[in-house]
């Protein structure tokens, strides 16, 4: 299985910033250390082309990003200090998701050690999201004719508002979002299917809903490709998420998504998504489980 990664994924933040940026280097180190993967699994994506950016994002938004001229308010909504490296990083990550989709056509699965930036809209970003990597990849593959239908399986605890808006009038992309009903974003533009869970939802209720929804949905929609957004902010230890899943439950979620797609011959491109547990080790363990399950189902 191929894994998209570049050292630029780790963006230098001020010391007290609440985003756990170190996960982007610690996760690959952990996976190498434990032997789940080797260096040969990695590829380093090129920056995404402007043409591909503009198939999803507005010319005005792209111009402001390129020239670092977002207003203070627009930058604050994103939540990272705006420097040219952040834009360069976003282009590489988005290309990583696109490349993962193409690798998945051949290998069944491919994973990006970043991405899942589902709070990015066509014309603006918010919630640590600049470009919408999955939307960009889906639009590009539809444009080239490599796919005719995709399903986005967004299991990050936050609702995929940007993705939902971007594909609101696009029947070729089905958007599914499982999320905490009371989690950010407050306003949730409708996905094709939204499943909002009450505070404190644990493994059993969460997983039984996944078992009930996902296989039937894939059988009905018959996509050529699945984008899986595997955020680990569903954990009870998460500082932002309001659900109460365990690491074991989160791992079972990942296993089930992979097995369900594999059983149907559906390629899966994985974008990492969020994770804000108190201990960085818990975040790494949660994300590492996604790779362990991919390896165990496809290996
Ligand atoms: Zn999230």
By CB atoms closer than 10 A (0-12, 13-18, 19+), residue 176 is buried
How much is the pLDDT for 16? Answer: 87
Residue (of 153, 77, 85) closest to 121 by Cα position: 77
How far, in Å, are 31, 44, 95, 124, 156 from residue 34 at the CA level? 5, 21, 27, 39, 25
How does pLDDT run along the chain (299 residues), one tens digit per residue?
A: 999 999 999 999 998 898 999 999 999 999 999 999 999 999 999 999 999 999 999 999 999 999 999 999 999 999 999 999 999 999 999 999 999 999 999 999 999 999 999 999 999 999 999 999 999 999 999 999 999 999 999 999 999 999 999 999 999 999 999 999 999 999 999 999 999 999 999 999 999 999 999 999 999 999 999 999 999 999 999 999 999 999 999 999 999 999 999 999 999 999 999 999 999 999 999 999 999 999 999 98
Q: What's the 153 CA to ligand 1 centre distance in angstroms? A: 13
Count CA atoms closer than 13 A to 289's CA, side-chain side.
22
Q: What's the 241 CA to ligand 1 centre distance in angstroms? A: 7
Q: What's the 157 CA to ligand 1 centre distance in angstroms? A: 5
150-154, strands of its sheet edge to edge? 42-43, 2-4, 109-112, 268-271, 225-229, 150-154, 173-180, 193-197
Q: What's the 201 CA to ligand 1 centre distance in angstroms? A: 16
Q: What's the 59 CA to ligand 1 centre distance in angstroms? A: 27
Q: What's the 53 CA to ligand 1 centre distance in angstroms? A: 23
Q: What's the 184 CA to ligand 1 centre distance in angstroms? A: 9
Q: What's the 145 CA to ligand 1 centre distance in angstroms? A: 30
Q: What's the 229 CA to ligand 1 centre distance in angstroms? A: 9
Q: What's the 137 CA to ligand 1 centre distance in angstroms? A: 19
**3-class secondary structure, 93:** helix
Q: What's the 234 CA to ligand 1 centre distance in angstroms? A: 8
How much is the pLDDT for 15? Answer: 87
Alpha carbons 254 and 248: distance in angstroms, whole number:
10
Q: What's the 43 CA to ligand 1 centre distance in angstroms? A: 25
Q: What's the 246 CA to ligand 1 centre distance in angstroms? A: 16
How much is the pLDDT for 232? Answer: 98
Q: What's the 17 CA to ligand 1 centre distance in angstroms? A: 16
Q: What's the 122 CA to ligand 1 centre distance in angstroms? A: 19
How far, in Å, are 110, 148, 204, 225 from residue 172 at the CA level? 22, 6, 32, 11
Strands of the chain (E only): list them.
2-4, 42-43, 109-112, 150-154, 173-180, 193-197, 225-229, 268-271
Q: What's the 161 CA to ligand 1 centre distance in angstroms? A: 11
Q: What's the 204 CA to ligand 1 centre distance in angstroms? A: 20
Terminal-residue alpha carbon distance, the chain: 8
Q: What's the 156 CA to ligand 1 centre distance in angstroms? A: 5
């Amino acid at each position: 299985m191929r894994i998209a990664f570049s050292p630029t994924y780790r963006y230098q933040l001020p010391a007290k910033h609440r985003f756990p940026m170190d996960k982007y280097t610690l996760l690959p180190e952990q996976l190498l250390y434990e032997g789940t993967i080797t260096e040969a699994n990695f590829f380093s994506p090129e920056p995404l082309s402007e043409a591909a950016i503009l198939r999803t994002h507005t010319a005005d938004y792209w111009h402001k990003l390129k020239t670092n001229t977002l207003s203070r308010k627009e930058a604050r909504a994103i939540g990272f200090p705006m420097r040219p490296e952040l834009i360069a990083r976003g282009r590489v990550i988005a290309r990583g998701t696109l490349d993962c989709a193409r690798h998945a056509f051949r290998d069944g699965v491919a994973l990006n050690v970043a991405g899942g930036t589902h709070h990015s809209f066509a014309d603006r970003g918010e919630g640590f999201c600049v470009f919408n990597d999955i939307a960009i990849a889906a639009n590009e593959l539809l444009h080239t004719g490599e796919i005719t239908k995709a399903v986005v399986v967004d299991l990050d605890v936050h609702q995929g508002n940007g993705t939902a808006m971007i594909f609101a009038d696009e029947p070729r992309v089905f958007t599914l979002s499982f999320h905490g009903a009371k989690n950010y974003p407050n306003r949730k533009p409708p996905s094709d299917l939204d499943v909002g869970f009450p505070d404190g939802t644990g493994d059993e209720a969460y997983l039984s809903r996944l078992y009930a929804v996902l296989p039937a949905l894939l059988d009905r929609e018959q996509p050529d490709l699945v984008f899986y957004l595997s955020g680990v902010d569903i954990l009870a230890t998460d500082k932002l998420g309001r659900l109460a899943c365990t690491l074991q439950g989160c791992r079972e979620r990942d296993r089930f998504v992979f097995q369900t797609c594999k059983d149907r011959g559906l390629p899966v491109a994985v974008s990492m998504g969020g994770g804000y547990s108190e201990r960085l080790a818990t975040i790494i363990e949660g994300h590492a489980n996604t790779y362990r399950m991919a390896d165990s189902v496809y290996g």
